[in-house]
Structure 1
Amino acid sequence: MSSRDPADLHESIRATALQFLVQANAVLKLTSPDLEVRFTCTWRPQFEQDALYAQGRTKPGPKVTWVTNSAHNTDLPETPRGDAEAFDVGVFEQGRYLPGANGRELALYQRLGPIGEKLGLVWGGRWKSSPDFPHYERANWRTQR
């Protein structure tokens, strides 16, 4: 089962992710005290990544990922669960998840991207072919192990 726990983030990104959450919440609270940013995914097991990849290809539904090997499902043998080098966030208003489905909601996610970038994270909102506005990952996670 996927995790939302920052403890399941690799130590190379955990402190930055927590700092991002604090800064992102501070920025959104200036817009409205009813807004909150939360982690929606840190570590994801490989079988869930495979199922997400199958969606829109061999299983019904829209495509939601373009990779079978994600920074969400990196794992080291010496740790019990996972070592994600990416996290997804959600914006919530009075406890209700805002998926970015309209201009107002999308603008909230777009306000968060530069915060992650200033902290040295790669923001999925900058990806040209398939932007992923809630996604942040450690730069060069594939090569810096």
Structure 2
Amino acid sequence: MRILSNLINVLFFTGIVALLFFFLLQQMEKEAPQGVFYSEDVSLPDNLHPTVKERKDELVERVREKGIQIVITEGHRSEEKQDALYAQGRSSEGEVVTHAKGGESYHNYGLAIDFALKAEGGNVIWDREYDGNGNGQSDWMETVEVAKELGFEWGGDWENFKDYPHLQMDFGLSIRELKRGKRPGDDSLNDR
């Protein structure tokens, strides 16, 4: 009976140690420098991910077929440019346009684009009510609908900070995973 009691105690203690190790490992991953849990030599991309670029081009063409012209105002964005945008409305003049510092935006990983509409006369506008093709629907929302069909997530659906021009594909990766060097493959969404 004593042997069984000792065995149960050892198993219980081992289980507690395993749980502690599991939670400590997760915490270490959060705080570890880039490369500790993923590849060490993974640099930030300097252009759009191939699938994002392909879908961006398809978006432009599909909305053009509906009589809507859009302009891609931003694609890949460097960390330096992201930091400058983050400073806007904080330590530099202008309105706050982002809550993401350098390395914290899907733009920095080539996984996001921003768009605007091109109105008659060639003006670039961010008017979400504009109906340039005259079909009784907002050109903005028609564009968002097509973008979602192509696999984009829309910043206008976010709870805390609405980013209406923003479209992204995260490929199931968090910013934390991207910061640690994990990257989507080149054919990540090609089987829609």
What TM-score results when the alignment is normalised by the length of structure 1? Answer: 0.74
Percent of pairs with identical residues: 26
For residues 138 and 46 of structure 1, the distance between their equivalents in structure 2, rounded to whole angstroms, comes to 18
CA apart distance, 1:17: 1.3
For residues 25 and 126 of structure 1, the distance between their equivalents in structure 2, rounded to whole angstroms, comes to 24
For residues 146 and 117 of structure 2, the distance between their equivalents in structure 1, rounded to whole angstroms, comes to 14
Q: Which residue does 2:62 correspond to in 1?
A: 23
CA apart distance, 1:22: 0.9
Partners of 1:121 and 1:136 within 8 A in 2: yes
For residues 135 and 25 of structure 1, the distance between their equivalents in structure 2, rounded to whole angstroms, comes to 19
1:99 aligns with 2:126: yes
Q: Which residue does 1:77 correspond to in 2?
A: none
1:12 pairs, out of 40, 45, 51, with 51
Partners of 1:113 and 1:133 within 8 A in 2: no
For residues 52 and 83 of structure 2, the distance between their equivalents in structure 1, rounded to whole angstroms, comes to 24
CA apart distance, 1:25: 1.9
SS of 2:124's equivalent in the other structure is: strand
Partners of 1:71 and 1:141 within 8 A in 2: no
- Larger of the two Rg values belongs to structure: 2
For residues 87 and 141 of structure 1, the distance between their equivalents in structure 2, rounded to whole angstroms, comes to 17
Aligned residues: 123
Q: Which residue does 1:119 correspond to in 2?
A: 150
SS of 2:130's equivalent in the other structure is: helix
CA apart distance, 1:130: 2.1
Give 1 or 2: higher helix fraction.
2
Partners of 2:130 and 2:140 within 8 A in 1: no
1:60 pairs, out of 70, 93, 108, with 93
For residues 100 and 114 of structure 2, the distance between their equivalents in structure 1, rounded to whole angstroms, comes to 15
Counterpart residue identity of residue 70, structure 1? S
SS of 2:147's equivalent in the other structure is: helix
1:87-117 CA distances to partner (integer Å, 9 max, x unpaired)? 11111112111122x7437x32222111111
1:89 aligns with 2:128: no
Partners of 2:60 and 2:69 within 8 A in 1: no
For residues 166 and 65 of structure 2, the distance between their equivalents in structure 1, rounded to whole angstroms, comes to 19
Partners of 1:124 and 1:135 within 8 A in 2: yes
1:117-144 CA distances to partner (integer Å, 9 max, x unpaired)? 1111111121122222221111334356
For residues 173 and 112 of structure 2, the distance between their equivalents in structure 1, rounded to whole angstroms, comes to 9
What TM-score results when the alignment is normalised by the length of structure 2? Answer: 0.57
For residues 164 and 71 of structure 2, the distance between their equivalents in structure 1, rounded to whole angstroms, comes to 14
Which sections of structure 1, spanning at least 5 residues, go unmatched? 1-6, 30-34, 75-83
When the two chains are superposed, the root-mean-square deviation of aligned CA atoms in Å is: 2.3
